[in-house]
Each structure stands twice: as C-alpha cells, then as structure tokens.
Amino acid sequence: MYRLKYLVMPFIFALILFGCGGGSDGSDTATSEQISISGIVSDGPIKDSIVKFRNKKTGKYLGIETATNAKGLFDTVVEIQASDDINNYIIEAKGGGRYCN
C-alpha cells in the first residue's frame, strides 16, 4: 500500500499542475460555408422532382430541398460546416414525372 502511494502521487501532482491549462477563449466557433449546387434530374427531363442532400457518413439530410423545373434542372445554395466536405453528400431526387413538350 505504501509503495502504491508513491506511484500514484506523481500522476496526481501532474494532473493538478497541468489541469489548469487548455481552456478555450471562445474563438473556436464552427464556421459554415455556402456552396451553390445546380444539376439536372433526368430519365428524360423529370419535372417537379424533390432534390435533397444527404450526408453519406451520418445519413442525415441538410435542412434544404428544392424542386426541378420543367426541364429537370435544379439550382440551390446549401450551407455546410467548414470542417465538412461537400463530397460527403449524396444528391437524392424523388418523385416528379417526365416532361413531354
């Protein structure tokens, strides 16, 4: 027991000594980035399809969706965290119908 006390004491002292540092000054706030995305949903043009953006890793959707026009085109701006990568997202389109002119 006596030997254990001498082995543990240096670790406790180190925790007390270094435990006061490492605080945050609040400047580490997460920033986001706006990215413009446009494309076409096509099996022939798909009119009124709902386009959503899903993270491949988490499965969560961004809080934005848009619809395609009569030519199947969509255009929107998404906002992602600066620490994230736009390549982590999948563009999903559901619904709509073929446009015949």
Q: What is the enclosing helix (H) or strand (E) of 12?
A: helix 2-18
Q: What is the enclosing helix (H) or strand (E) of 76?
A: strand 73-81
Alpha carbon distance 9, 44 (integer Å)? 74
Report how far apart, in Å, the C-alpha atoms of 97 and of each of 27, 44, 47, 91 are.
48, 9, 5, 18
Domains of the chain: 31-101 (2.60.40)
What's the pTM? 0.59
Q: Each residue of 37-74: pLDDT tens digit? A: 888 887 777 888 999 999 999 999 988 899 999 888 99
Alpha carbon distance 49, 74 (integer Å)? 9
